[in-house]
Structure 1
């Protein structure tokens, strides 16, 4: 009886010691705005973290270690159609010594107003004929599968930059009316680009698609790692192949007017998992190479040359 009591008291003492040993945790949340279509960076800093995990929107949050041993980070994407409101971000931190702690933060997602654009296009791109419906379905499923698979490590490092210099001619999130018929949201930005303008990778990535699609025309999708993707549409020429690892600033294609378009330009869209996010939000958050600081074996495959510098 005395032995059982002593054992119970000893276990309780150990549990108290483990709880008391949990180091302090600093959590910061950075974003251009907490609105639909925005990218958010979550930074967790504590002593000797061995893993950080989290959930939000009933979805796993993928944290990655950084160049600083006490810091882990994650990217969150607020989909363009996310309803405004309060969302719970739950975190679990485990140290090298096995001590666990839990943290919760609330995300306040504010409303965002989007404009409407009216376009006149060839009828076949607004009401596609029956003989291309299967092709459209097959391509949509292929792209969906690509976005559903997250590479376990970041492939980019440092800054994200604009893929070309043209100004924005159609902003993210616009509701589209095509030939008088309401259609899907414009889940990217259109950049002014005359036929044949050089397109550069905005950051390091792996080419996971380079082919012609019915609506998007000649398209390239780059996997930047951890579920973050860039897609470029309406190109005239490919300069890369699927499976190729590209450096930031490397030429990947030439712009054009293929697919469902009124004229030559670049359509640039980005995804974080299933979240459709504004590329301008990504540039705001990740154009400073000191904000997100991923550490990845894949990055070591790049040379130290900066292709943006001429």
Structure 2
């Protein structure tokens, strides 16, 4: 296991806990605590060939989380928003196992920002963004030892969930990439808490995300909590569900105070609502 899979270097970030957050497993029971949604931006659960030990599974070159199901092993696969509907396949111990991605249409979102540079970065901004991606890229792939995610997550801060995940975004009239996270409406300074157990693999102040915290929950499952006004955790710090990590803010590319929560499986950003018991 290399250092990148253990920990990513960065600066400190803050996260807070909501009283309603509770831990739930599903790892030992064999029953997954969510309903599969095999669409772009969703999660597929793929039955695997029967065998005594867990197989090694990858999808488009990324290792995939494997769980023991009621009737055998199953792969829990994150699907990127760019995934094409139709037949696709996993690599399972060197053999292809096919599954189907269903179509899904996401609505359009128009956002007006006061800072035009957050829509069209200048050369200096672009250089900064490029450097930040060298840190952020490995953080999404973190696979720390000793962590097995329960795949049950608590809401990281109280507030109304928006339908923003997957929306085709238009900033100041200019089309940009789809929104790969869930926004939670919340006031400035409200506590943000860890949605599940994990280790903080990266914190920092980034051009688009503002003050941000990356938490690796294990086996390629990673949360990003961003636009924070304050960060209260450090890189390498272990957190439990509900631990404070920061406070709601409007840093980075944000039109006002809110929490942005991205959740990633096998380096694919998926809709966090799939894992919430609403």
- TM-score, shorter chain, exceeding 0.5: yes
Superposition pairs for residues 67-82 of structure 1, below 5 Å? 72-82=73-83
- Shift of residue 141 of structure 1? 2.1
- Shift of residue 86 of structure 1? 1.0
Say whether residues 1:137 and 2:130 are aligned partners.
yes
Render the CA deviation track for 1:107-136: whole Å, top value 9, x for unaligned.
111110011111111112111222222111
Structure 1 stretches lacking a partner, 5+ long:
1-26, 93-101, 288-310
Please give the alpha-carbon distance, in whole angstroms, between the structure 2 residues aligned to 1:250 and 1:213: 23
From 188, 196, 205, the equivalent of 2:198 is 205
Is the contact between residue 48 and residue 97 of structure 2 (CA under 8 Å) also seen in structure 1? no
Q: What is the CA RMSD across the aligned residues, in angstroms?
A: 2.9
Q: Evaluate the alpha carbon distance shift between residue 146 and residue 231 of structure 1 in structure 2; reply closer, same or farther with a 3 A threshold.
A: same
Render the CA deviation track for 1:65-99: whole Å, top value 9, x for unaligned.
79x9x96554210111100001234545xxxxxxx
Say whether residues 1:224 and 2:217 are aligned partners.
yes
Structure 1 counterpart SS, 2:106? coil
- Shift of residue 140 of structure 1? 1.7
Q: Evaluate the alpha carbon distance shift between residue 231 and residue 45 of structure 1 in structure 2; reply closer, same or farther with a 3 A threshold.
A: same
Is the contact between residue 31 and residue 40 of structure 1 (CA under 8 Å) also seen in structure 2? no
Tell me the residue number matched to 1:308.
none
Tell me the residue number matched to 1:298.
none
The alignment's TM-score, normalised by the length of structure 1, stands at 0.71
Please give the alpha-carbon distance, in whole angstroms, between the structure 2 residues aligned to 1:190 and 1:266: 6
- Shift of residue 106 of structure 1? 3.2
Who wins on radius of gyration, i.e. which is larger? Answer: 1
Tell me the residue number matched to 1:190.
183
Higher strand residue share: 1
Tell me the residue number matched to 1:61.
64
- Shift of residue 170 of structure 1? 4.2
Is the contact between residue 152 and residue 275 of structure 2 (CA under 8 Å) also seen in structure 1? no
